[in-house]
């Protein structure tokens, strides 16, 4: 089955054609990163307007790249939650019109489920059950993936997502938006160990996380250095910051593995591209005798292929929707 998939939850417009949930026939992406960099972050209204401008032509490109016609499409999958509500609505509204015009099923896909499913595209042998560490600009979750559509949150951030903190720390260090890749590159210039940064714990919830204190600590360090005229070791701070995030994520992911008894873990989301986090996960999983799946960098960020992959399994489970389907800014991955 060939699924035409749409993703527009933030600042990438993405349209893909995916066959049987595992094979990417095309994956067309229009990024707005350069535009939003002017403002130091995503401006929701601008993002929504750019999605409107890009989505029709991008759909034609995705079909052409896949060598498909409209008649070849068996279903339409679309991100319906979570995300910037205006941005999500653009993709959802367009996907509805396509499904209606082609008279094919409409499949709603949770954005984070899509990130996890990106691993199915890279690793044909991967099958549930497994543990997923979903880490992105808007979400930080430890997920028990019981089967392709049955997922339970074991741990989550109580405040800021890991990716959001990377962006805020990058801004303080004078790095461009989005901050993940520049922070990672800068961190490679230092071995760290210069700055003592907080590692928060949530009482009574050992798998939950908190990053707001870490973000505030970086801001305060930078401001203090500026006020007293001290030179800030930017590379060391980037390294120590990334290490603090990694320590928080990896320790909880490994504890979740112990609790579930799983021997398989998959990382997902934009922050999964960070080299320090990837390296720490690899070492921890090797020590624990656990198989780790790390998606290639091109599948860590937002893309349409991941929505098509998860959409296939949602379709097999009977999870389709009518034209009344609405968009949601927030939504539990288990819904």
- List the CATH number of the domain containing 25: 3.30.420.40
CB 215 within 8 A of CB 160: yes
| Backbone φ/ψ region at 318: left (φ over 0), alpha (ψ -120 to 50), beta | left
Query: Would residue 328 count as lying in a domain?
Result: no
Q: 3-state DSSP helix/strand/coil percent for the chain, to nearest 5?
A: 45, 20, 35
Nearest residue to 3 via CA among 108, 87, 86: 108
Q: What is the pTM of this model?
A: 0.95
Domain that holds residue 284: 128-297
How sure is the predictor about 246, in pLDDT bands with cuts at 50, 70 and 90? very high
Residues 288 and 166 in one domain: yes
Give residue-wise pLDDT tens across range 142-184.
Answer: 999 999 999 999 999 999 999 999 999 999 999 998 889 999 9
Residues 161 and 290 in one domain: yes
Q: Give the chain's domain count.
A: 2
Query: How much is the average pLDDT of 4-13?
Result: 96
Residue 68 burial class via C-beta count within 10 angstroms: exposed 0-12, middle 13-18, buried 19 and up = middle
Token readout for 138 is: 């808007």
Q: Taking the CB of residue 43, how many other CB atoms lie within 10 A of it?
A: 17
The pLDDT of residue 38: 82
Residues 233 and 303 in one domain: no
The pLDDT of residue 40: 83
């Amino acid at each position: 089955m060939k699924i035409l998939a749409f993703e527009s939850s933030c600042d990438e417009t993405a349209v893909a054609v995916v066959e049987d949930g595992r094979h990417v026939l095309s994956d067309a992406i229009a990024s707005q990163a350069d535009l939003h960099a002017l403002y130091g972050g995503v401006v929701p209204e601008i993002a929504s307007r750019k999605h409107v401008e890009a989505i029709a032509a991008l759909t034609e490109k995705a079909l052409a790249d896949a060598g498909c016609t409209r008649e070849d499409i068996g279903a339409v999958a679309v991100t319906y939650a979570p995300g910037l509500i205006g941005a999500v609505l653009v993709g959802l509204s367009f996907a509805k019109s396509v499904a209606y015009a082609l008279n094919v099923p409409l499949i709603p896909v949770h954005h984070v489920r899509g990130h996890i499913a990106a691993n199915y595209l890279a690793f044909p042998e991967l099958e549930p059950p497994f543990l997923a560490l979903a880490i992105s600009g808007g979400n930080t979750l430890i997920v028990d993936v019981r089967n392709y559509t049955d997922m339970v949150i074991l741990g989550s951030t109580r405040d800021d997502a890991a990716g959001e903190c990377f962006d805020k720390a990058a801004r303080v260090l004078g790095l461009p938006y989005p901050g993940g890749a520049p922070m990672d590159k800068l961190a490679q210039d230092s071995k760290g160990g210069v700055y003592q940064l907080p590692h928060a714990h949530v009482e009574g919830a050992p798998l939950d996380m908190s990053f707001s204190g870490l973000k505030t600590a970086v801001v305060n360090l930078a401001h203090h250095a500026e006020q007293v005229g001290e030179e800030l070791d930017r590379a060391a701070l980037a390294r120590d910051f990334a290490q603090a995030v990694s320590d928080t994520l990896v320790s909880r992911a490994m504890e979740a593995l112990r609790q579930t008894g799983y021997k398989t873990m998959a990382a997902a989301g934009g922050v999964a591209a960070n080299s320090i986090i990837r390296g720490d996960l690899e070492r921890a999983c090797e020590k624990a005798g656990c198989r780790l799946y790390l998606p290639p960098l091109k599948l860590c960020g937002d893309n349409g292929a991941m929505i098509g992959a998860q959409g296939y399994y949602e379709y097999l489970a009977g999870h389709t929707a009518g034209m009344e389907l609405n968009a949601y800014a927030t939504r539990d991955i288990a819904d």
